[in-house]
Amino acid sequence: MTRIIAGDASSLRMKVPERGTRPTSDRVREAIFSALDAWNYLTDTRVLDLYAGSGALGVEALSRGAEHATFVEKHAPTAKIIDENFAAAHTAISAAGRTITHSIYTQSVQKFLIAHPPVAPELRYDVVFIDPPYDFSDAVIAENLASLTPLLKADALVMIERSKRSPEPAMPQSLRIMKRKNYGETSCWWAERI
């Protein structure tokens, strides 16, 4: 069972696909969001949730203060679950007096990154979550990272979740690794735009 851990929609149970996804554990999500909170990256921010699955990372960000989340999930039935999870969180967050928005793109991450034109600075993203299946090749992740820069604000953070056995993600010149933390079999890599 996956629940929102904290914020205006705290304890809300989220739907997850029956198969084909690997939801981020509560322990790892709590660590991710503790870091974002400490760095003041949750209030009134825009987040991009790539390989979104159930949308747990983006919805958690909205619960904790983000104003907009964009979800990219290529499987249409899974994208429908994201929409249902957003709707449930939206009700709780609206009751707390906050306005949130979202968009969902049902396409591959690389297609989204290439097709998405550079946007006005205020519409770029503060935080990006990249949580692909662990069996995705390092080359695919490197390609994603290289295509991401035009969508990032100047001080954006990018979090990449991979297997602990995966090598350090290959960063483009516009991103620099600032932190790595292991949680059981999961490694979280944090990069900042430079």
pLDDT value of residue 118: 73
pLDDT value of residue 23: 72
pLDDT value of residue 102: 98
Report the top-level CATH class of 2-193: alpha beta
pLDDT value of residue 19: 66
Spatial separation of the C-alpha atoms in residues 105 and 137, rounded to whole Å: 22
Between helices 26-38 and 56-63, what is the axis angle to 10°? 40
pLDDT value of residue 26: 85
pLDDT value of residue 135: 85
pLDDT in tens, 120-140: 888 999 999 999 988 889 999
- H helix or E strand, kind and range, residue 74: none
pLDDT in tens, 59-89: 999 999 999 999 999 999 999 999 999 999 9
The pLDDT of 19-39, averaged and rounded, is 85
| Percent of the chain whose predicted confidence (pLDDT) is above 90 | 86
- Burial degree of 174 (CB within 10 A; 0-12, 13-18, 19+): middle
